[in-house]
C-alpha cells in the first residue's frame, strides 16, 4: 500500500527491503559466512547513503 501511495520513495523502499532481506539471511542461519556478511554490510551502507542524500537534499531547520 505504501509503495503505491508514495511512488517517489520506490528507491528508498527497495533499499530498505534489500537490507531487511539481507539481515534475515545473515541472522537466520546457525553460522555467519563471509559472503553473507559482506552483502549485508554493502546493503546497509547503500541504505545509509540513501538517508544521507535525502538529508542533504532536504536539510532540517535547527531553529525553533
| 64 within a domain of the structure (yes/no) | no
pLDDT at 41: 96
Question: Long-range contacts for 12-20 (Cβ within 8 Å, ≥24 apart)?
Answer: 12/50, 12/54, 15/43, 15/46, 15/47, 15/50, 16/47, 18/43, 18/46, 18/47, 19/43, 19/44, 19/46, 19/47
| 18 within a domain of the structure (yes/no) | yes
| 25 within a domain of the structure (yes/no) | yes
pLDDT over 70, % of the chain: 78
pLDDT at 35: 93
Domain that holds residue 43: 14-52
Q: What is the pTM of this model?
A: 0.70
Count up the domains in the chain and report the number. Answer: 1
| 8 within a domain of the structure (yes/no) | no
Amino acid at each position: 500500500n505504501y509503495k503505491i501511495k508514495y511512488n517517489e520513495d520506490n528507491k528508498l523502499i527497495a533499499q530498505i527491503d534489500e537490507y531487511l532481506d539481507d539481515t534475515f539471511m545473515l541472522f537466520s542461519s546457525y553460522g555467519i559466512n563471509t559472503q553473507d556478511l559482506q552483502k549485508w554490510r554493502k546493503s546497509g551502507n547503500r541504505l545509509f547513503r540513501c538517508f544521507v542524500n535525502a538529508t542533504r537534499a532536504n536539510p532540517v531547520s535547527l531553529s525553533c
